[in-house]
Amino acid sequence: MSRIVLAFRSFFSILFRDTLPEEVAKAYGYSKAGAVKAKAVAATPMAPEVKTSDGALQMLGILQRDGRLVDLLMEDISGAQDEQIGAAFRSVQEQCRDSLEKYFRLSPVIDGVEGSYTKIESSDPAVVKLLGNVPASGKAQGGLLRHKGWRAERVDLPKIVPSQKPDVIAPAEIEIE
Amino acid sequence: MPKYVIGIDLGTTNCALAYAEAPADPREPASVTLESIPQLVNPGEVRDESLLASFLYIAGATDFPAGSLSLPWPSDEHMVVGELARKRGVESARRLVSSAKSWLSHSGVDRTSAILPPTAPEGVEKISPLEAARRYLDHLRQAWDSKHPDAPFADQQVLVTVPASFDAVARELTQRAAEEAGYKSVILLEEPQAAFYAWIERHADWRDRVRIGDLILVVDIGGGTTDFTLIAVTEREGELQLERVAVGEHILLGGDNIDLALARHIESQLAAKGTKLDSLQLHALWQQCRAAKEQLLSEDAQKAEHPVTILGKGTGLVGGTIKAKLRREDIDRILLDGFFPTASSSDMPARRRAGLAELGLPYAADAAITRHLARFLRQQASTAEHGTVRRGASGLAAPTHILFNGGVLRAPIVRDRIIDVLNSWLAAEGLPAVQPLFGEDLMHAVARGAAYYGTARQGRGVRIRGGVPRTYYIGIESAMPAVPGMPAPMKALVVAPFGMEEGTGVRIENQEFGLYVGEPAEFRFLLSATRKNDKAGDLIDDPGEDIEELALMEVTLTGNQGEMAPVSLESLVTETGQLQLWCVARDGRRWKLEFNVREQAV
């Protein structure tokens, strides 16, 4: 079954019958027994029916809501004056930063001075990326710090309420006169 | 025995909560902690904030996604309290309850009937100012209980602050709101006093900083209200003692007015360039001006201007962006000329002249806070004989110290201007300049001070003596032949003199009323903020403008039908600061007079 078909069947089945179609449940490992057990453990009526991948959409939604980031990125600004772009960006940047600081604690991976000699303390390429004349061994004592990197020390995103529809990043707005 | 003392600042635009551990050793200084308040900040998102926004949004079925208004405790989900209410209220203003506290003190309306929001569309369930206050207080109680499961709110000693200018009816309504919100033992405390307690809490050596005879002026400018109080330093049995000697009128004027004035200024600049703003954009501008003002007026600000940007309305964000600049000199001009102009101590604020006004809150007619201050200090000259008030040659009350409270006064330029103006008045009286007392954390000082006072009540620390901040009267119709079309002249009998202390009572012996039992009897209830030398039992023949009508008081005597009972009046100030009036029969039977807030004072 194609994923789209599965998705639609799941959607309408949940909407009208309050349950997943059996084959979908089986395919994704949501068996009835598991669901009953989960209910018994979690006393809250809001069992999370959302996937963790919805977090990406949630983040987009937050940055749009607080800082209008999606509006800014999706707009064709080829004809706009730099001054106009600057004014808009200043506001978007300020609010997106506030929002980031609220939901994450970001810190540099290496807290050093960029452009200065820095010792290499990790060989994990996901943490420290080596550039330039990297020796054959792939190991070096140290080098110039080009970029401090960013690390999320803490993530504090709100739980997603099922009725919030994560795929809607920003609702349409209609003003009643 | 309560474990904690909790101080609650029930503000016009924000509430705060602080607590201290109930004293085990009376000599140990109290240490006060601020508590953060979980609240909805977005649909489906509950966060801890240091303040609870005093806004309530009456949500309809289509306002928020289903299930996104849950709190960590059971709640009425369509009555949203806090930050989310404030945010959503910008987009849909007619369902937003704001300034409920000002409505609670507005004697021109029935404060127990569902009148808020006044602009709610037909079919929306309204609530009363009392109910709004109850919901804020209830939210604070639940927030506490969610954070301190081992120390239930109902078991703690709780203090709720009210503006010093709240009259007896507004105080009673606040008390009632707290009781209906499940508060067991609640004590009311005046906000400027709380602010002063917060200063004492931070300055253990305060006794070395003031002397007997000093007079401390507390200036409290919050989001929506301005309040003045005078505290005298006196002596009793060789100990320094503090006495609250004067309380100003309730002035509906504050930081929000300033931000709105700045927004209007930018709006008119934009209009001159042909850009028109709608109401949502104006609100966005208002918020931007608030932020820009705080940036430009902060202690270390160097910049001469701050950009103000209103982003495009639809998805065309960059193209639709409106930009303007708020210049430091414009802020200075609007703030200093409009709200804090230089004035002489004999300048009085302008009175409202319009005969007809929109039915709403009685906002101050004159925005000049310095002129309101001049009137306050001048009023102490004319009739005040209560306590030891330091005065200048012209009779003007002459403070030696000044303490600031409220968000507006975080700006040094505002504090400096108030000090300059006050000093010019003092110089004219031949007196030395006033000394500022520096408080910290002006947004939370009231809640902190309330918690400190709670520990002071239990024997630790100093207490400010104050008593009733008004003189209260019962109106008595003169016994005269009726004249058609003319109301009988009214006399005013003093039932509670200014400064009557907590835990004391006064019996008015020389005036008896014949009351028929079994049916409600009504009394007219009046007050004066300035007549402080009236004694209990005094009869004022021709009450002038300085005595205001407040409310009706009602009593129904139980007894034999058709009997007329001769009663005299007795007033009592409870330990918690509540004024009570009682009818006492010759045989000792007693009936309490209740405020009739349903009837409007005329």
pLDDT, tens digit, 9 for 90 and up, residues B66-94: 889 999 999 988 999 999 999 999 888 88
- Annotate A20-35 with three-state secondary structure: CCHHHHHHCCCCHHHH
Q: Using CA atoms, how far apart are residues A165 and B44, in angstroms rounded to an integer? A: 12
Based on the structure, what is the number of domains in chain A? Answer: 3
Kindly report whether the global pTM for this prediction surpasses the value 0.90.
Answer: no
Q: What is the pLDDT of residues B531-589, one digit of tens each?
A: 888 888 888 888 777 888 887 888 887 777 777 788 888 888 887 777 888 888 888 88
Query: How high does pLDDT run on average in chain A?
Result: 79
Does the pLDDT value for residue B598 go beyond 80?
A: no
Q: Give the pLDDT of residue B600.
A: 43
Tell me how far CA of residue B112 lies from CA of A24, B85, B172, B306, B406, in angstroms.
56, 22, 12, 44, 28
Classify B4-189 by CATH class. alpha beta
- Are both A1 and A25 inside the same structural domain? yes
Q: Give first-to-last CA distance, chain B, whole Å.
A: 46
Would you call B44 and A164 a contact, using CB atoms and an 8 Å cutoff? yes
**Which pLDDT belongs to residue A153?**
94
Q: Which domain holds residue A86?
A: 50-105+154-169
Q: What's the pLDDT at A3? A: 56
Q: Which of B4, B17, B6, B20 is nearest to B139 (CA)?
A: B17
pLDDT over 80 at B507, yes or no: yes
pLDDT at res. B353: 54
CA pair distance B234, B147, nearest whole angstrom: 41
On whether any CB of chain A is under 8 Å from the CB of B70, the answer is yes
ipTM: 0.74
Alpha-carbon Rg for chain A in angstroms: 23
Least confident span in A34-38, B117-121, B237-241, B439-443: A34-38
Identify whether residues A10 and A31 lie together within a single domain: yes
Mean pLDDT, rounded, of chain B: 86
Residue A76 lies in a domain: yes
Q: Answer yes or no: is A90 within a domain.
A: yes
Which of B162-176, B182-196, B333-347, B348-362 bottoms out in mean pLDDT, i.e. has the lowest?
B348-362
CATH H superfamily, domain B255-339 = ATPase, substrate binding domain, subdomain 4 (3.90.640.10)
Q: How confident is the model at residue B303 (pLDDT cuts 50, 70, 90)?
A: confident
Backbone torsions φ then ψ of A26, nearest 5 degrees: -65, -45
Q: Does residue A174 lie within any of the structural domains?
A: no
B342 or B350, which is more confident: B342
- In sequence order, the β-bridge partners of residue B8 are B17, B160
Contacts of B317 in chain A (CB under 8 A): 68, 71-72, 75, 88, 92
State the amino acid at position B200 in one-letter form: I
Q: How far is CA B159 from CA A167, B27, B131, B134, B453, in A?
A: 47, 21, 19, 15, 8
Residue keyed to tokens 């909790």: B6
For A88, the closest of B65, B67, B309 (CB atoms) is B309
Smallest CA–CA distance, residue A133 to chain B, in Å, is: 43
- HEC sequence for chain A: CCHHHHHHHHHHHHHHHCCCCHHHHHHCCCCHHHHHHHHHHCCCCCCCCCCCCHHHHHHHHHHHHHHCHHHHHHCCCCCCCHHHHHHHHHHHHHHHHHHHHHHEEEECCCCCCCCCEEECCCCCCCCCCCCCCCCCCCCCCEEECCCCCCEEEEECCCCCCHHHCCCCCCCCCCCCC
**pLDDT exceeding 90 applies to what percent of chain B?**
35
Name B191's Cβ contacts closer than 8 Å, sequence gap at least 6.
B9, B161, B162, B163, B164, B220, B227, B405, B446
Q: Is residue A69 part of a domain?
A: yes
Nearest CA in chain A to B69: A161
Identify whether A17 is part of a domain: yes
Q: Is residue A176 part of a domain?
A: no
Q: In terms of C-beta density within 10 A (0-12 exposed, 13-18 middle, 19 or more buried), how is residue B545 classed?
A: exposed
Amino acid residing at B104: L
Residue B2 three-state SS: coil
- B43 at interface of A, judged by CB pairs closer than 8 A: yes
What average pLDDT score do residues B218-231 get?
90
Measure in Å the smallest separation between the Cα of B305 and chain A Cα atoms: 14
- Whether the pLDDT of residue A2 is over 90: the answer is no
For residue A51, the model assigns a pLDDT of 67
Q: Which pLDDT belongs to residue B470?
A: 85
* Alpha helices by DSSP H, B105-152: 129-147
Pick from B214, B329, B222: nearest CA to B265:
B329
Residue B601's pLDDT band (cuts 50, 70, 90): very low
Q: What is the mean pLDDT of residues B172-201?
A: 91
Candidate from A15-19, A119-123, B300-304, B498-502 with smallest mean pLDDT: A15-19
Domains B4-189 and B209-252+348-353+364-444 alike in fold = yes
Domain boundaries, chain B: 4-189, 209-252+348-353+364-444, 255-339, 471-596
Q: Is the pLDDT of residue A33 over 50?
A: no
Distance in Å, alpha carbon of B299 to nearest chain A alpha carbon: 21
Domain B209-252+348-353+364-444 indexed as CATH 3.40.50.2000: no
Q: B243 forms bridges with which residues in the sheet?
A: B232, B465
- B67 vs A90, A161, A165: nearest CB: A161
Task: State how far residue A166 is from chain B, nearest Cα, in angstroms.
Answer: 12
The residue that leads in pLDDT, B109 or B374, is B374
What are residue B523's phi and psi, to 5 degrees? Answer: -125, 145
Q: Is A94 on the interface with B (CB under 8 A)?
A: no
Q: Is residue A25 part of a domain?
A: yes
DSSP helix/strand/coil, B509: strand
Q: What is the pLDDT of residue A139?
A: 85
Same domain, A78 and A138: no
Confidence of residue B339 (pLDDT cuts 50, 70, 90): very high
CB B335 within 8 A of CB B413: yes
B9 — pLDDT class (breaks 50, 70, 90) = very high
Q: Where is average pLDDT lowest: B11-25, B332-346, B374-388? A: B374-388
Same domain for A161 and A132? no
pLDDT tens readout for residues B369-421: 999 999 999 887 655 455 567 888 888 899 999 999 988 898 889 999 999 99
Statement: residue B510 has pLDDT above 80? no
Give B295's pLDDT tier (boundaries 50, 70, 90): confident
Query: Is the model more confident about B459 or about B102?
Result: B102
Higher pLDDT, B269 or B480: B269
- As a whole number, mean pLDDT of residues A171-177 equals 87
Is B121's Cβ below 8 Å from some Cβ in A?
Answer: no
A88 touches chain B (CB under 8 A): yes
A31 pLDDT above the threshold of 50: no
- In a domain, residue A160? The reply is yes
Q: Does A168 touch chain B (CB under 8 A)?
A: no
Strand partners of residue B158: B6, B186
Is A158's Cβ below 8 Å from some Cβ in B?
yes
